Structures are given as C-alpha cells and as structure tokens.
Amino acid sequence: MDKKINSHHWLPFTNNCDFLDDPKLLKSASGMYYWDQYNNKVLDGGSGLFCSPAGHCVESISNAVYQQLKRLDYAPHFMRATEQSFQLSEQLSALLPDPINHIFYCGSGSEAVDTAMKIALAYHRLVGNGQKQRFVSRERSYHGVNFGGVALSGMLKNREAYGVGLPGVVHMRHTWLEGNSFTPGQPEEGAFLAEDLQRHVELYGADTIAACFVEPIAGSTGILVPPKGYLERLRAICDQNNILLVFDEVITGFGRTGNPFASQTFNVTPDIITMAKAITNGAQPMGAVAVSSKIYDAFMDKSESGLPELFHGYTYSCHPAASAAALESLRIYQEEGLFERARSLTPLFQEAVHSLADLGIVKDIRSFGLLGGVDLKSQLKPGILGYQVQKKLFEEGLHLKTTGDCAILAPAFISEPIHIEEMINKLKQVLQVFDAS
Ligand SMILES: Cc1ncc(COP(=O)(O)O)c(C=O)c1O
C-alpha cells in the first residue's frame, strides 16, 4: 500500500483508505431508516450494530436522556449511586432468569466481558478455589476487543497482531457443521461438540478452570446457532466441575430470540450473563454483567469488611444518561410488546432469509429469532467479497454488517413485513450481480 491518506479521524474495523475515497456518512435516522449525506434513504437491516430493536430516534428515549442530563449530568458510582441505577437493576433482574439478580454496570460489551472474567476469578478466590484461573471459550466467538475478550475470542484477525495476549484461555470447536447447512433454527446434530469442554477438563483439570464463556448464538461470526442439546451439555459439565458458565448475550439479550434473554429461549441458565447494545436501544453506551445470587452473596459475605468487595469499576459505570436511556428502552420494549413482536416476526423473517438459498453464490444460511447469516462462496481472500457486498448494498440502500464473507441480518423488532421484503429483495439483487460477475 503506497497510497498515503491523511485524516484526523481513524475509524474502527474499517479500511480507512478505501473509506476516505468515498465516505459513507450517516446524517440522520428515524424508525427503520438511516439517511446519508446525500439524503439517500438507507434501510437498516442490522439494527445499527444489533443495537436498536425499537428503531432509531425514539423520541421518548431522546427526551429521557435530555431531561436526565439537565437534572443530573454525571454521577460517580464509586460510593455514590442514583435512584435510577437501583430502579434499572430491579427492572433488569425481573427480566433476567432466576437466580441471576445482581447487576454490575460498565460502558460497553467489551467491558462487560472483561468484568465478567474478573468476577469469575475473584469469586473462585473468595470461596477458596484461587487456583481456578483458566477460561474455556470457543473458536469463531466474538467477545469484544479488550485484552480479556480478545483472548476469549476465536477470530484470527482480531488476535494475530496483539502478541500472546492473556494466557490460560483454551478454545472449544465452533458449532458450525457442514451437514447442518441451510438449517433454519437449531440443528439436530452437534451436541457432541460440547464434549470439547469435558476434554479440556480432562486435559487441564477441573480445579484449574474458572469459567466457560459462550455466546448462546455466535453473532458476529455469522449466526452460528447451538445444536439441540449443546448448551444443556455445557451446563451439565460446568455443574459437575464447579466451572462458572457465562453467556455473552451482548447480541442475543433484549428480545433478539423472542424472550428477554436467549438463556430463557434455550432454557439453560448460566451463572453470569453479559449484556450491552440494546440495553439502551443503542441511544447511549452501556454494558452490564448480571450474576447469580450464589456469586453475589459470596462477595457480600466473604469479602474483607470495610473495603470494596470488588476492586473494579469504571468512571462511566451506570452513567445517569445511559440509565435514563435504559429505563425508557425497557419501558418501550415492555409496553409495545417488542419481544413478543420479535417472536411473531420470526417465521416470516426466517422464510424470507432462507429464500436466498437458490442463489448460486450462497454457500449456507443459518437463522434463529431475528438473526440471519448468509455465507457467500468466494474465490477471493476471505473477507474481500463480503466487504464488497456490504459496500454495494449500502449504495443500493441497505445497511447490514458482513463478517468475513457472511452477510448478517438483524432487523429491528418494529420491522413490518414490507421492511423484511425490502431487505431480502435488495440483498437478492446485489447478490445476483456478484453471482453473475
Ligand atoms: C457477543 C459480544 N460480546 C461483546 C461484544 C463487544 O461489545 P462492544 O462492541 O460494545 O464492546 C460484542 C460486540 O458485537 C458481541 O457481539
């Protein structure tokens, strides 16, 4: 690359050189649509980045944030709190599966994952198992970009430039099996992949493993749906070996699978749930870690008295504006029945996504709830075709995320059938162009 570019702004997860040739600026948004700098209307097929199930620029959320900032702009949460942070915790607890009832706040999904890792280590130490320091996660997982989450994640490009990272993390195989291609919902085959956790127990010893981290559905790497029985088996192995099971629900939380959390949809209760994104409908940055009573009680009962139970926290833990956005988002989700709406839209959405199966360029399609992943066949280096496809899609008026050569659909829950039809038609048209070339 001999091309020199000069911009004050360095964009994340972006080819900056290419971007600056033809910048894609988002100028405004409303409901299901963005508008770019030329006033082109762009349908949002990805809820931003899985963030906005209630659609964009919901007036009552914007107002709640504005009113909050006028009343109390910033409040530290080290030895202080707000009424709203307690209210929010109570409401989140009501949505979460029992006994996951205690919430620790942070500013993003990446912070939530690293916080959960620290809680897991500190918990075992408190109860006399300080030697439990390893983590088990999975290939093709995404757990954010901080050092802990990068170590857990199973994506080469997100790891290779950053040295050895955090030691003591081992990976299970991912859950994609060729034989399950084009399966809508949960595949029948593949529960045996959970035995990888058992193999790590046998190789490293249960007494060295603190926690097993998985996304119930691997989202960012292309909607890898857990085979039937897989999550249940992970739960059983964790129970037998005193390993904490952590569900990273940064994408699947807040209704994406038709229930508040995927844990409820799959009927498997972990010990810790991480969340972010839709917690505020994307209107403010916020992440959170919810832990079971067993974990919380251990900290409250066993920590040294007079000192913080957990030496961890962020300047922006539970920022008042984020709390206000979260409280209003939860109200809307509930009053407008958006999780039920996600559930009832699912059959139509799945049928629409799977209608792309006939295209020659399509290698596999997976779907669950309002999540769809369309793998593309490519002769190019991995990721190049996906990049070109998402760029062309934006020009044709559809925003969605691609990871590698997979196009990922995650519509807002306010979608009408006509929006789903528009998404699929646009995707089909663009894929036909690439198919023919
Ligand atoms: C499962 C999962 N965990 C963590 C993260 C990181 O969240 P953030 O980008 O808010 O740091 C993401 C982001 O997509 C995610 O999908």
Q: Do 47 and 371 meet the contact criterion of CB atoms below 8 Å apart?
A: no
Question: Residue 148 belongs to what domain range?
Answer: 72-335
Question: pTM of the entire structure?
Answer: 0.97
Answer whether residue 121 is part of any domain: yes
Pocket test for ligand 1, best of 106, 220, 221, 261 (most atoms within 8 A of CB): 220
Q: Is 250 in the pocket of ligand 1 (CB under 6 A)?
A: yes
Checking if the pLDDT of 236 tops 60, the result is: yes
Pocket test for ligand 1, best of 113, 273, 314 (most atoms within 8 A of CB): 113
For residue 169, what are its two tokens? 């993390």
Q: Is 219 in the pocket of ligand 1 (CB under 6 A)?
A: yes
For residue 385, what are its two tokens? 């075709």
Question: Which H or E run includes 134?
Answer: strand 134-138
Give the number of domains in the chain: 1
Answer whether residue 424 is part of any domain: no
Instruction: Report the CATH number that the domain containing residue 309 is assigned in CATH.
Output: 3.40.640.10
Q: What confidence category does residue 4 fall into, taking pLDDT thresholds of 50, 70 and 90? A: low
Nearest to 367 by CA among 314, 416, 420, 330: 420
Answer whether residue 39 is part of any domain: no
Q: Atom 3, ligand 1: which residue's CA is nearest?
A: 143
Q: What is the pLDDT of residues 346-372, one digit of tens each?
A: 999 999 999 999 999 999 999 999 999
Calculate how far, in angstroms, residue 110's C-alpha sits from the geometric centre of ligand 1: 6
Answer whether residue 265 is part of any domain: yes
Beta-ladder partners of 190: none
Q: What is the pLDDT of residues 369-399, one digit of tens each?
A: 999 999 999 999 999 999 999 999 999 999 9
Pocket test for ligand 1, best of 50, 51, 110 (most atoms within 8 A of CB): 110
pLDDT score recorded for residue 435: 86
Reduced to 3 states (helix: H, G, I; strand: E, B; else coil), residue 212 is strand
Answer whether residue 371 is part of any domain: no
Averaged pLDDT, 272-296: 98
Q: Is 368 in the pocket of ligand 1 (CB under 6 A)?
A: no
Place of tokens 């809508």: 184
Q: Atom 8, ligand 1: which residue's CA is nearest?
A: 109
Answer whether residue 89 is part of any domain: yes
Answer whether residue 378 is part of any domain: no
Checking if the pLDDT of 1 tops 60, the result is: no
Q: What confidence category does residue 3 fall into, taking pLDDT thresholds of 50, 70 and 90? A: low
- How far is 113 from 131, CA to CA, in rounded Å? 21
pLDDT score recorded for residue 388: 96
Q: Is 284 in the pocket of ligand 1 (CB under 6 A)?
A: no
- How far is 294 from 298, CA to CA, in rounded Å? 6
Answer whether residue 261 is part of any domain: yes
Q: Is 142 in the pocket of ligand 1 (CB under 6 A)?
A: yes
Q: What confidence category does residue 247 fall into, taking pLDDT thresholds of 50, 70 and 90? A: very high
Q: Do 220 and 276 meet the contact criterion of CB atoms below 8 Å apart?
A: no
Q: Is 148 in the pocket of ligand 1 (CB under 6 A)?
A: no
pLDDT score recorded for residue 6: 79
Q: What is the pLDDT of residues 109-152, one digit of tens each?
A: 999 999 999 999 999 999 999 999 999 999 999 999 999 999 99
Q: What is the pLDDT of residues 170-181, one digit of tens each?
A: 999 999 999 999
Question: Which H or E run includes 203?
Answer: helix 195-204
Secondary structure letter of residue 295 according to DSSP = H
Averaged pLDDT, 307-320: 97
